[in-house]
Amino acid sequence: MIKKYYEMTPDERLASLNLLEQDKQYLHNHQDSIHEQLVENYISDLNVPIGILKDIQLNGKSYNVPMAIEEPSVIAAANYGAKLLKTGGGIKATLSSPTVMIGQIMFKNIDFEEINIFVKSNQVQLFKTAQMAKPSIYKRGGGLKSVHARQVSKKQVSIDFMIDTKDAMGANIVNTILEAELVLFNMYESNIVGAILSNYATAQVVTITGSVAIPAVGGKQAAQKIVELSEFGQNDCYRATTENKGTFNGISAVVLATGNDWRAVEAGGHAYASRHGKYQSLTSWHIDGNLLVGTLKLPISVGIVGGAISAMPQSQINLAICNIDSADELRSVIGAVGLAQNLAALKAIANGGIQRGHMRMQYRALALQIGANKNEIPELVSKLVAEAYVDESIAKMKLMELRNET
Ligand code: NDP
């Protein structure tokens, strides 16, 4: 009998692809038996570099943070930003308390007052149902914390369930509870649109603050420029998008390294950036005496157990590197890396543009791309940095020169 695609082994799927033998072998060499169990139609792994942000000072503790990212310069910049933030006494994180996930049951063509009264008068049953649906999270001290109706439009209502999922990100925990709760709303069955968690995790907001001694950023003028850039990001969506992308360079790299769902964190972050009715930068900077003071505020929905985290040894190793004990601690570290990343980017722009700092790392990637070997890369990069203009053909020419010299 012919196997269905999903029934094939990874190698059988590889064999069915129109690929060079050497490429199939490459993909075969990068297979992982655990990852094969994680996703459907698995063929191989994508390897992303992991580097360390060494010693970021947060809430009086020093962290080594693994960052998984393919973009050159990001990890170097995060290290630099973290170093700058030490000059102002380290970073502080404060969290919503408790940090809870939000689950929604969504209704159409319904009167808000009616469903509001229903929810208020059935609280005992709503709490009992949640506990019965997921008793283990109650044993860990979590579970449903509150439930209320929220008017979305004239005829649309969301019943919001605030659920403490402890050290798990909690998407599955929330969905399990919501699906059990649906039964209580049987009489409104035809009004129900759906039930699922919300990734707009406004009850998991992390506020990160950090200061830098003004001389460390290049003096008063440079600090003022950083403030002006930050103000631009509050008013201009074009600037805000780029600034937030830079902040997410740090945030997403840690989220990914720890096996967390970076789509969830990014979706929540971008929604939060629009909370005032326009898309704005998630960070803001101002001058206070001799300090440049920055704040980053966004929801960060992550866990240290569950999902792929518990299944992937690498996530657990990365969490061990970071020496993290709780999801709340991880949220704080991720936010701190975001602020450090943002500061490094703003400082580079304020001091004449990011290209100068970026180019050394970009040229390493270019050197690899044109076939330079490990021993040739440092010298080739130095030659390219000295050039006013570099492209692939110039890089190839410089590599030839280098090879002729040796
Ligand atoms: P899991 O379903 O794996 O749940 C985590 C489980 O870990 C808990 O149910 C609990 O099980 C166990 N656990 C062990 N220790 C703890 C602890 N200290 N605190 C809490 N739980 C603990 O994962 P999540 O519910 O976290 O869901 C996350 C996954 O869902 C991610 O992979 C995400 O990508 C995915 N997802 C995301 C969606 C979204 O964001 N929109 C939608 C759907 C899925 P027990 O108590 O029984 O031991």
Residue 215 has pLDDT above 70, yes or no: yes
Q: How far is CA 126 from the centre of its chain?
A: 32
> What mean pLDDT is reported for the chain?
95
User: Between 357 and 81, where is the model more confident?
Assistant: 81
Ligand 1 contacts CB of residue 260 (under 6 A): no
Which protein residue has the closest C-alpha to ligand 1 atom 40?
A: 264
* CATH number of domain containing 321: 3.90.770.10
Catalytic entry in 167, 261, 328, 329: 261
| Residues β-bridged to residue 158 | 106, 150
pLDDT at site 384: 85
pLDDT at site 359: 75
Average pLDDT score over residue span 203-217: 97
Measured distance CA(117)–CA(244) in Å, rounded = 41
Q: Which helix (H) or strand (E) holds 265?
A: helix 262-273
Same domain? For 315 and 226 the reply is yes
Same domain? For 288 and 140 the reply is no
Ligand 1 contacts CB of residue 144 (under 6 A): no
pLDDT at site 358: 63
Residues 6+ apart with CB under 8 A from 312: 34, 35, 38, 259
Same domain? For 291 and 212 the reply is yes
Q: Which atom from ligand 1 is nearest to the alpha carbon of 169?
A: 26
Amino acid at 205: V
* Domains in the chain, number: 4
Ligand 1 contacts CB of residue 171 (under 6 A): yes
- The residue whose CB lies within 8 Å of the most ligand 1 atoms, and thus the one to mutate among 172, 177, 312, is 172
- The residue whose CB lies within 8 Å of the most ligand 1 atoms, and thus the one to mutate among 35, 140, 252, is 140
Average pLDDT score over residue span 72-77: 94
* Chain segment 270-320, per-residue pLDDT in tens: 999 999 999 999 999 999 999 999 999 999 999 999 989 999 999 999 999
The model's confidence at residue 356, banded by pLDDT at 50, 70 and 90, is: low
Measured distance CA(126)–CA(113) in Å, rounded = 18
Q: Which of 10, 29, 47 is the last residue of a domain?
A: 47
Same domain? For 299 and 328 the reply is yes
Q: Note whether 240 and 53 are within 8 A (CB).
A: no
Q: Which of 47, 64, 83 is the last residue of a domain?
A: 47
Which protein residue has the closest C-alpha to ligand 1 atom 18?
A: 167
Q: Which helix (H) or strand (E) holds 361?
A: helix 355-369
The model's confidence at residue 64, banded by pLDDT at 50, 70 and 90, is: very high
Same domain? For 24 and 119 the reply is no
Catalytic entry in 358, 376, 379, 396: 358
Q: Which of 9, 26, 47 is the last residue of a domain?
A: 47
pLDDT at site 354: 59
Q: Which atom from ligand 1 is nearest to the alpha carbon of 306?
A: 3
DSSP-derived 3-state class of residue 191: helix
For residue 71, indicate whether it is catalytic: yes
- Distance from Cα 300 to the centre of ligand 1, integer Å: 15
Same domain? For 345 and 362 the reply is no
From the list 92, 59, 74, 88, the residue with the least C-alpha distance to 216 is 88
Q: What is the DSSP string of 314-379?
A: HHHHHHHHHT--SHHHHHHHHHHHHHHHHHHHHHHHHTT-SHHHHHHHHHHHHHHHTT--TTTHHH
The model's confidence at residue 357, banded by pLDDT at 50, 70 and 90, is: low
Ligand 1 contacts CB of residue 357 (under 6 A): no
Same domain? For 112 and 73 the reply is no
Ligand 1 contacts CB of residue 137 (under 6 A): yes
Over its C-alpha atoms, the chain yields an Rg (Å, rounded) of: 25
Measured distance CA(177)–CA(168) in Å, rounded = 14
| Residues β-bridged to residue 92 | 209
Same domain? For 110 and 158 the reply is yes
Same domain? For 191 and 224 the reply is no
Ligand 1 contacts CB of residue 303 (under 6 A): yes
- Distance from Cα 167 to the centre of ligand 1, integer Å: 9
Ligand 1 contacts CB of residue 250 (under 6 A): no
Bridge-based pairing of strands 192-198 and 143-153 is unpaired
Q: Note whether 350 and 229 are within 8 A (CB).
A: yes
- Distance from Cα 123 to the centre of ligand 1, integer Å: 25
Q: Which regions of 189-345 does DSSP assign to beta strands (E)?
A: 192-198, 205-213, 283-288, 291-299
pLDDT at site 321: 98
pTM here is 0.91
pLDDT at site 90: 86
Residue 378 has pLDDT above 70, yes or no: yes
Domain range enclosing 3: 1-47
- Distance from Cα 60 to the centre of ligand 1, integer Å: 29
Same domain? For 129 and 182 the reply is yes
For residue 325, indicate whether it is catalytic: no
Which protein residue has the closest C-alpha to ligand 1 atom 29?
A: 307
Measured distance CA(226)–CA(198) in Å, rounded = 34
* CATH number of domain containing 188: 3.30.70.420
Same domain? For 225 and 344 the reply is yes
End-to-end CA distance of the chain: 60
Measured distance CA(56)–CA(273) in Å, rounded = 25
Measured distance CA(295)–CA(343) in Å, rounded = 10
Residues 6+ apart with CB under 8 A from 34: 311, 312, 313
Ligand 1 contacts CB of residue 133 (under 6 A): no
Same domain? For 244 and 327 the reply is yes
User: Between 162 and 350, where is the model more confident?
Assistant: 162
* Chain segment 21-44, per-residue pLDDT in tens: 999 999 999 999 999 999 999 999
Above pLDDT 70, what percent of the chain? 98
Average pLDDT score over residue span 129-152: 98
